[in-house]
Structure 1
Amino acid sequence: MNSTIQAVTDRIIARSKNSRKAYLEKIEKARRQGPHRGVLSCGNLAHGFAACNSSDKADLRSMTKANIAITSAYNDMLSAHQPYETYPQIIKQAIAEVGSVAQFAGGVPAMCDGITQGNPGMDLSLMSRDVIALSTAVGLSHNMFDGSLALGICDKIVPGLLIGSLAFGHLPTVFVPAGPMPSGIPNKEKARVRQAYVEGKATREELLEAESSSYHTAGTCTFYGTANSNQLVVEVMGLHLPGSSFVNPGTPLRDALTKAAAKQVTRLTDLGGNYMPIGHIVDAKAIVNGLVALLATGGSTNHTMHLVAVAKAAGYTINWDDFSEISKVVPLLTHIYPNGSADINHFVAAGGMALLFKELLGAGLLHNDVNTICGRGLEQYTKEPVLIDGELQWREGTDKSLDPEVIATCAAPFKPDGGLALLQGNLGRGVMKTSALRANKTKIVAPAVVFEDQFDLDKAFNAGELNKDCIVVVRFQGPKAIGMPELHRLTPPLGVLQDRGFNVALVTDGRMSGASGKVPAAIHVTPEAYNGGLLAKVKDGDMIELDAQTGTLQLLVDEQELAARDNVLAQIDHHLVGMGRELFAGMRSELTGAEQGACSLFATQEQVG
């Protein structure tokens, strides 16, 4: 085992000793109490199975058959989640075939950052994760269930389902993916048209045609953003069936995997001899494995918040120092857009998850002594699913990359580190995704150009005011301010400036996430400007230093001058009302800082111990 990975794991375990102990005691108590349908009054139980058929009613009355909860993020506006429309019936039939019962416990919201970015709804995006966790808990709170199936894919949805499921950590839980859409136009071409549009060299119709040719059918977007990072991390943590993350929807193999996932959860319930609840799978080693895989593939920076919150839900405290230390010893093994030109389907064709597991296990970068939904250890995950004469089987995956431009080896990686840098200095702490940066773009010292709102940058860009070396500061975008929206609309104009030969970078207390690309960006800066961060004192022309190599995030202004400056007051009222944002004022006020997971769910829990 790599000594740094082991040391970080040991530190997390020691740091979290008391909180993990309390968590395990909580879920053991819930296990002993069991599903309450066994002690429900006749009226309560009748409500619980009133809509079931006569056979399912008899099974649920007998208390000898498992009842599996289905929690789904289905909606047919999101391409990634549209395939889930048919899953409940597939799942119910598969579970009936093994003599158990499944009930649809509840739906959770599923919003798409790709639709809302640059629009008012984006201010709700991060908070939707906590709403999803709460919705999951509401569905499971009827306590009718022996196990759980979680159906979700994108951005905040999988982390929310994970947090909610971990609150019911005594229940065996299997996550069920739906898969990416087939490849459309190359991501590189899509990015080219986007940038051309910003420069006025492409029409809106040409832009829409390019976007429509990229996002063209049911399934997850094919670039390696948060959605596909979610799937990869959850599989490495042992919560998916091996190789199931990236099988295209609407295929016989996809349907076979869905049925197999449904049957697998029935084997893990407390009614049999192989009890394995999610709270015993998601431990410190599984969390570290998730971090390793995320960094080895240049995954979404959103997980610098999401995995912190997920770990907290399981009784662990992790921080950005843990991410940083792991990143230094984990090599970058994949080139998937925006870190390269390939998409997630190319990753699968090059060897996919089975090969990734082999490389990381072979280099001693993954803990193998872990629980999974398939048993102890990760050897099963070095295999890939196939249909042979209509029967689902797993065969040994390839031992070498079938496309070295997409998947590299630990011996000869694309980069020696995981592509995530922790930055810190008087401006606070932030993270920078470096996996997509060119070698000479990891350090910049330049004057600040300050914006209080992301939309103001467009005006300055169009007026030619940014045609210079500069570090763009976009502040008052943090969790407590406006809910920490993603700022992807900033990427095309900043990319144009970089291509014009200017040294540019971004500093923000907002998010850029998995689609962060070639422009150096210090993101998730904490403390945020709205909550006392020094970002609130930065003025136009102030020199700022960003250096991913030394981990520097420094405002180069004399301390005495800074002490004499007043914080700029946030002018954010227009972000707080409309599109439902006023309903989230209470949740926004409870959000922790980015490094603490930007989460509203644990403050009260900590206050009561």
Structure 2
Amino acid sequence: MVQQAIADVTARIQERSRPSREKYLGRIEAMRREGPRREGLGCANLAHGFAACGATEKQRLHQGITPNLAIVTAYNDMLSAHQPYERFPAIIKRAAREIGAVAQVAGGVPAMCDGVTQGRAGMELSLFSRDVIAMAAAIALSHDMFDAVAFLGVCDKIVPGLVIAAQAFGHLPAVFIPAGPMPSGIPNETKAMLRQSYAEGKASREDLLEAEAASYHAPGTCTFYGTANSNQMLMETMGLHLPGGSFVNPDTPLRDALTAAAAQRALAITALGEDYTPVAQILDERAFVNGIVALHATGGSTNHVIHLVAMARAGGLILTLDDFADLSKAVPLLTRIYPNGGADVNHFTKAGGTGFLIGQLLEAGLLHPDAKTIAGHALEGYVVEPYLDGGRLAYRPAAAASSDLSVLRPARRPFSQDGGLKVLEGNLGRAVIKLSAVAPERRKLRAPARIFHTQEEVEAAFCAGELNLDFVAVVRFQGARATGMPELHKLTPLLASLMAQGHQVALVTDGRMSGASGKVPAAIHVSPEAQDGGPIARLRDGDIISLDAEAGMLMAEVSAQDLQERANASCDLEANAHGYGRDLFELFRAHASAPELGASGIV
């Protein structure tokens, strides 16, 4: 039975979303009635659509009774997480042929890596790449040739963008197929120590590059628990992955078997069969609550406080920060995966993985067991793990106990009684903070503000020895309307170094820090942002900032009248508007919504 707190949040999402959800479902029903019906296409249209197919596929599509699976892929071979997708279309097409169906690559979408663009101009395109991905996927599906979709995407903005596109084509079944994490490299804590040493000038660039290369060393997702791996956890818990599919390593027989099975499952749930399961039926309020619960229980990426809102709004569902906050109070933290510990996702899988985690959350009444999934059964059937039986995919019950309690715990013995994300409020607006890796004694801070407008200004002050004190780094004009809301990971080693020297340090910003904010208390996504005239634009050096993560409070100790009467600071953003393609994204910056509304220009 679902706990009352979970049921209450679900009910209020359903109630506040009723008008927009009904409107959305009405549009999707109209699309379902209209197609896809390939026999309704003009002869030239249809001939164009299968011109490059083999004779058998042409015949099948000509008859119009064979399901056709669209493959929308984020493949590129620069990014380790997406390089394995090079092989997937062939696997999917072969799996389709085996059951008398067809699969075609409908289109590709861009996939950029925040790890590569971190601290560079390209990072200012990162958040908006989510909207571009959604639009690119919509173009791929616009040909009305397809009965279902297999989405190939893993990383930070790619999966949310693909989910938004899936919602736009909610009359089609949609299956998400992950590529899996790379094998474990050097210990994450060793890498973090090298980064801190480099920031302090105690390690060379060669030392740091050697450590980074030993960490990011093979095809697959980075193994720390940032946005990419949080994506995979969400897709499984929200019913868009096959059970146990999230964290199987690339280029292994089990990964290939899961890929083939996912393709065949997508083809089994089209409107041409007896088990029609469009994505609009799966992604309801229960699915989103299940996703938020899993995010809290694993200390997942703060990016998803933005992404889940945008993903839900694409389907007519309205999530608020209060939903995240109330669910966090009810959900215990069950994992410690770097940066919330030393383990990585491979260690998590070995300890019991998603099957054990979902089982524990279901047993505790924290998930909706009846939520629909692509698998042909409800979420309660996901308490399993995949394996190969004579070369064929099979399932067995998930582990009954965690094999490593330092990584994964049962709900009755959590690492903490509430989730890893908190919402902060006060006279500076609203913000979020990831607490799962922040020591309890660091969660409450009162210190003077130091005002910065770029990461580079913080770095320069650090190198000049100006930050050897207790302070709150306020890094503003980093919001979606200002610079595209880049992630600010260059700050983590610097601030962590100051904390290690005994200083009380925190970050307050209208930018992002993703899932890797680590042990530095960071109040992020401050809204309204500075560019929108938010109170953060009226802070001055020396203003005392009080941050109390346990109480959910973020305050400047400035009188309401004084704060109101101050003039907003200005920031020359001309340099951020051009170069590296940034000029092409002016429309997105101008129309971006607030973070708690999804920070989107299209949703």
Query: TM class by shorter-chain length?
Result: over 0.9
Deviations 1:231-256 (A, max 9, x none): 00000000001001000001000011
Instruction: Give the conservation status (yes or no) of the 8 Å contact 2:445–2:546.
Output: yes
Give the CA deviation at 1:373.
0.4
Secondary structure at 2:432's aligned position in 1? Answer: strand
Aligned pairs for 1:57-206 within 5 A? 57-206=58-207
Counterpart for residue 520 of structure 2? 519
Give the CA deviation at 1:549.
1.5
Equivalent residue letter for 1:96: R
Secondary structure at 1:468's aligned position in 2? Answer: coil
Secondary structure at 2:482's aligned position in 1? Answer: helix
Matched, 1:346 2:318: no
Matched, 1:457 2:458: yes
Counterpart for residue 556 of structure 1? 557
Deviations 1:244-289 (A, max 9, x none): 1000001000011111011111110000110000110000000000
Secondary structure at 1:372's aligned position in 2? Answer: coil
Instruction: Give the conservation status (yes or no) of the 8 Å contact 2:370–2:380.
Output: no
Distance in structure 2 (CA, Å) of the matches to 1:245 and 1:112? 19
Distance in structure 2 (CA, Å) of the matches to 1:176 and 1:160? 15
Secondary structure at 2:87's aligned position in 1? Answer: helix
Equivalent residue letter for 2:279: I
Counterpart for residue 432 of structure 1? 433
Equivalent residue letter for 1:457: V
Secondary structure at 1:422's aligned position in 2? Answer: strand
Secondary structure at 1:448's aligned position in 2? Answer: strand
**Gaps (5+ residues) in structure 2?**
none
Distance in structure 2 (CA, Å) of the matches to 1:305 and 1:531? 18
Equivalent residue letter for 2:594: G
Aligned pairs for 1:372-383 within 5 A? 372-383=373-384
Distance in structure 1 (CA, Å) of the matches to 2:78 and 2:561? 54
Counterpart for residue 294 of structure 2? 293
Distance in structure 2 (CA, Å) of the matches to 1:135 and 1:348? 33
Equivalent residue letter for 1:569: S
Matched, 1:590 2:591: yes
Instruction: Give the conservation status (yes or no) of the 8 Å contact 2:118–2:487.
Output: yes
Equivalent residue letter for 1:434: L
Distance in structure 2 (CA, Å) of the matches to 1:448 and 1:262? 53
Aligned pairs for 1:226-245 within 5 A? 226-245=227-246
Give the CA deviation at 1:496.
0.4
Aligned pairs for 1:307-386 within 5 A? 307-386=308-387
Deviations 1:333-382 (A, max 9, x none): 00000001000000000000110011000000000111100123223211
Secondary structure at 1:324's aligned position in 2? Answer: helix
Matched, 1:530 2:539: no
Equivalent residue letter for 1:592: S
Equivalent residue letter for 2:370: D
Counterpart for residue 40 of structure 1? 41
Deviations 1:418-468 (A, max 9, x none): 021110111000001011111111110100000011111011001111110
Runs of 4+ in 1 over 6 A off after TM superposition: none
Equivalent residue letter for 1:87: F
Distance in structure 2 (CA, Å) of the matches to 1:523 and 1:379? 35
Secondary structure at 1:450's aligned position in 2? Answer: strand
Identity level (%): 58
Equivalent residue letter for 1:451: F
Secondary structure at 2:515's aligned position in 1? Answer: helix
Give the CA deviation at 1:562.
2.1
Secondary structure at 2:136's aligned position in 1? Answer: helix
Counterpart for residue 264 of structure 2? 263
Secondary structure at 1:513's aligned position in 2? Answer: coil
* Count of matched residue pairs: 602
Counterpart for residue 247 of structure 1? 248
Equivalent residue letter for 1:511: R
Secondary structure at 2:468's aligned position in 1? Answer: coil
Give the CA deviation at 1:503.
0.2
Equivalent residue letter for 1:48: G
Equivalent residue letter for 2:144: N
Aligned pairs for 1:466-545 within 5 A? 466-545=467-546
Distance in structure 1 (CA, Å) of the matches to 2:558 and 2:228? 40
Equivalent residue letter for 1:200: G
Counterpart for residue 55 of structure 2? 54
Distance in structure 2 (CA, Å) of the matches to 1:14 and 1:38? 40
Secondary structure at 2:163's aligned position in 1? Answer: helix
Give the CA deviation at 1:389.
1.2
Give the CA deviation at 1:561.
2.2
Distance in structure 2 (CA, Å) of the matches to 1:377 and 1:152? 23
Secondary structure at 2:269's aligned position in 1? Answer: coil
Instruction: Give the conservation status (yes or no) of the 8 Å contact 2:328–2:419.
Output: yes
Distance in structure 2 (CA, Å) of the matches to 1:563 and 1:425? 14
Farther-moved stretch of structure 1 (341-350 vs 28-37): 28-37
Deviations 1:539-593 (A, max 9, x none): 1000011111111111111223223321111221111110000010011111100
Aligned pairs for 1:563-578 within 5 A? 563-578=564-579
Secondary structure at 2:490's aligned position in 1? Answer: helix
Secondary structure at 1:376's aligned position in 2? Answer: coil
Secondary structure at 2:569's aligned position in 1? Answer: coil
Equivalent residue letter for 1:453: T
Give the CA deviation at 1:108.
0.2
Instruction: Give the conservation status (yes or no) of the 8 Å contact 2:446–2:545.
Output: yes
Aligned pairs for 1:593-608 within 5 A? 593-602=594-603
Distance in structure 1 (CA, Å) of the matches to 2:164 and 2:213? 33
Give the CA deviation at 1:36.
4.1
Distance in structure 2 (CA, Å) of the matches to 1:437 and 1:16? 34
Equivalent residue letter for 1:432: I
Give the CA deviation at 1:391.
1.2
Distance in structure 1 (CA, Å) of the matches to 2:187 and 2:301? 20
Counterpart for residue 605 of structure 1? none
Instruction: Give the conservation status (yes or no) of the 8 Å contact 2:37–2:64.
Output: no
Deviations 1:112-166 (A, max 9, x none): 0000010000000000000000001000010100011000000000000000111
Deviations 1:460-515 (A, max 9, x none): 00111111000000000000001000000000000000000000000000000100
The root-mean-square deviation of aligned C-alpha atoms, in Å, is: 0.7
Give the CA deviation at 1:91.
0.5
Distance in structure 2 (CA, Å) of the matches to 1:80 and 1:355? 25
Distance in structure 2 (CA, Å) of the matches to 1:380 and 1:368? 8
Distance in structure 1 (CA, Å) of the matches to 2:498 and 2:7? 42
Farther-moved stretch of structure 1 (179-188 vs 560-569): 560-569
Equivalent residue letter for 1:567: N
Equivalent residue letter for 1:20: R
Instruction: Give the conservation status (yes or no) of the 8 Å contact 2:70–2:149.
Output: yes
Secondary structure at 1:201's aligned position in 2? Answer: coil
Distance in structure 2 (CA, Å) of the matches to 1:36 and 1:555? 60
Instruction: Give the conservation status (yes or no) of the 8 Å contact 2:352–2:401.
Output: yes
Instruction: Give the conservation status (yes or no) of the 8 Å contact 2:362–2:380.
Output: no
Distance in structure 2 (CA, Å) of the matches to 1:379 and 1:428? 39
Equivalent residue letter for 1:476: F
Instruction: Give the conservation status (yes or no) of the 8 Å contact 2:472–2:505.
Output: yes
